[in-house]
Amino acid sequence: MNREQVTLNHTPIQYKELSHSDFEGYTFEDNNVTEIVSDSNGYISDFILQNIQLDKKDTTVINASVGQGKTTAIISIAKEYYKKRDEGYIVFLIAPFKSLLDQYKNSLQKLEIPDADIFDYRELDDENDEKDTNQETNNRPIQLMTFNFIMANAGEYYLKQNYNKTNYINKLLAFYKENNKKVILIFDEIHDAVDNFKQELVFNLFRWRKLTHKILVSSATYNEASKVVIKYFAEMTDQKLKILEAPRFQYEDRLSELSILYYDKPYYDLENKELIKFFDIEIGKANKVNILTYSKNLTDKIVKSPVGQNIRKSYGSINECTGDTNNVFDDKKCNIGTNFKTGISINEEDTAYYIFLPQKKSYEASPRTLGIFTEGINTVIQALARPRKNSRIYVIMPYPTKQIENHTYPDNLGNKEPLPNEAININKQDKLLQNFYNKTYSKLKDEIEYLESDNVLIRTAFPTYDQFKLNQGEQYFRTYYDIFGKNLSNYFYWASKNNQFINCRWKYVYMMDLVIEVEKTVKLTT
């Protein structure tokens, strides 16, 4: 195995910027997006608290990078509303993952909010034990729940939620209406939950319309689909919107060191001596070793492999975190699994964090088997950002199949479509998608008009642009463009080379099978 230091292009960090023009027709009190000003340490929670009008009915959107204190801010806002609970305020803290609910609860406890005032929807999880909630439960001023729960999303295999969950929501709605409660909906990490707002589910959101006083939305990685969800939220708050947005900067004192190992064999072989040696760089030396894998199957193999054995020998038991285990990330142990790509913070210094991107064979399958990274580049960005203090991050991935070409793509796209390997700025996605939608509509215009007319006995409506954006937009980007995740290795090389990550900077590239790979690697890294 060979190691080389890399030279970077210091390109401004791209992120999905939000503007008033994204929400035409909605009402903004401010003329422009409010730029978030961080404190001397790069944190933004104080600024957000100062710029949130608690008594004003609107949807407030927070767009800031990972690790800047967004979650601290929304927990503090929850505390402020908690102080006003005698005025009828009820706060819903809503997250895509149960692990985040644990973080919320711990943070609320540190702010001296008693457990008796917090309801965690997981108390309703026993499907075989029908529970009837009482007024005391309904009246708890802070409610913790997932997007799936509040949107009545029963998942892929069921048509409705279990009795306990359905009954609880119905009782809440009736109780709040009867007692004139003012509901505050705080949606965190919205990028991971847009699937909950598809057409057949969104009506469940609007059950809360007459009770909602304010909605707060938070993410570091907005996408085009999340803009549609924000419009739904704004409809709940009299079409009033406020956007708080922070520019993206790296803070030198918090940067982790990023290394990439090119592993260009079809499958990850956990018995491979060079791969085992790669983990030996850190095992027994770092304070902790955490490994995020793209698939449950790979997690199982690592836990049973010499790598897993060496981790247990040095650190004790391993916390295996997958959907099957229902285990959440435990900062007191070494973690190996799939379910901590977002929603958790690795706060211990001097830790080693390994990420397995999809193996080479994953891209040859139809459909591609990309596991937790199926949703594209935002999942990669989120996964990389878990360490919050100086750590060492190692990404294992296949060799890039092509180099993404840097050049300025024109603002006026016209009918021209970029090549699959062009470096398109993420803020040009809307124009790109609009072009695709318009072409599709034009090709089918006669048929659409016929099926939407009164001449047929079974009418079918063509999706609006917003509906298309929500349901298929992100799939379009990651299907056709490397820069948006068609090939994650291609994207990751480009992003690392152009210093696109907030919390880390690429320093080393490791190469296995040097005789085969060095020529290609040198071509890309020099």
Q: How many residues does the chain have?
A: 526
**pLDDT digits 0-9 by tens, 249-259:** 998 888 999 99
Predicted local confidence at residue 445, as pLDDT = 97
pLDDT tens track for 468-523: 999 999 999 999 999 999 999 999 999 999 999 999 999 999 987 543 333 444 34
**For residues 225 and 469, is the Cβ–Cβ distance under 8 A?**
yes
Is 456 in contact with 450 (CB distance < 8 Å)?
A: yes
Give the percent of the chain with pLDDT over 90: 76
Q: What is the pLDDT of residues 182-232, one digit of tens each?
A: 999 999 999 999 999 998 899 999 999 999 999 999 999 999 999 999 999
Rounded-to-integer distance, Cα 34 and Cα 244, Å: 5
Q: Which of 107, 249, 253 is nearest to 186 (CA)?
A: 107
Mean pLDDT value across the chain: 91
Domains contained in the chain, CATH given? 20-245 (3.40.50.300), 251-401+487-525 (3.40.50), 426-476 (no CATH)
Q: Which two tokens stand for residue 92?
A: 């819903």
Tens digits of residue pLDDT in 152-180: 887 765 667 778 888 999 999 999 999 99
pLDDT confidence bin for 129, thresholds 50/70/90:
low
Instruction: Tell me the one-letter amino acid at 504.
Output: C
Of 344, 343, 342, 341, nearest to 332 by C-alpha is 344
A 10 A CB-CB count for 234 gives: 22
Residue among 171, 228, 223 at smallest CA distance from 198: 228
What is the predicted pLDDT for the residue at 515?
35
Q: Which amino acid is at 20?
A: H
Distance CA 119, CA 133 (A): 11
CA distance 200 to 105: 31
Q: pLDDT band at residue 408, thresholds of 50, 70 and 90?
A: low
pLDDT, position 525? 44
pLDDT digits (tens, 9 = 90+) for 411-421: 565 667 888 89
Q: Where does residue 70 rank: exposed (0-12), middle (13-18), buried (19+ CB within 10 A)? A: buried
Map residue 417 onto helix, strand or coil: coil
Residue-wise pLDDT for 291-346, tens only, equals 999 999 999 999 999 999 999 999 999 999 998 888 889 999 999 999 999 888 89
- Model pLDDT, residue 503: 93
Q: Please report, rounded to a whole number, the percentage of residues in the chain having pLDDT higher than 70.
A: 93
In the prediction, which pLDDT does 67 show? 87
Convert the pLDDT of each residue in 75-90 to its tens digit.
999 999 999 999 999 9
pLDDT at position 522 is 38
- Long-range CB contact pairs, 42-48, < 8 A, 24+: 42/68, 42/249, 42/251, 42/254, 43/68, 43/69, 43/72, 44/68, 44/69, 44/70, 44/73, 44/246, 45/69, 45/70, 45/72, 45/73, 45/76, 48/73, 48/77, 48/244
Selection from 152, 117, 161, 166 nearest residue 138 by Cα: 117
Summarize the confidence of residues 27-50 as an average pLDDT: 93
**Two tokens, residue 479:** 């299907």
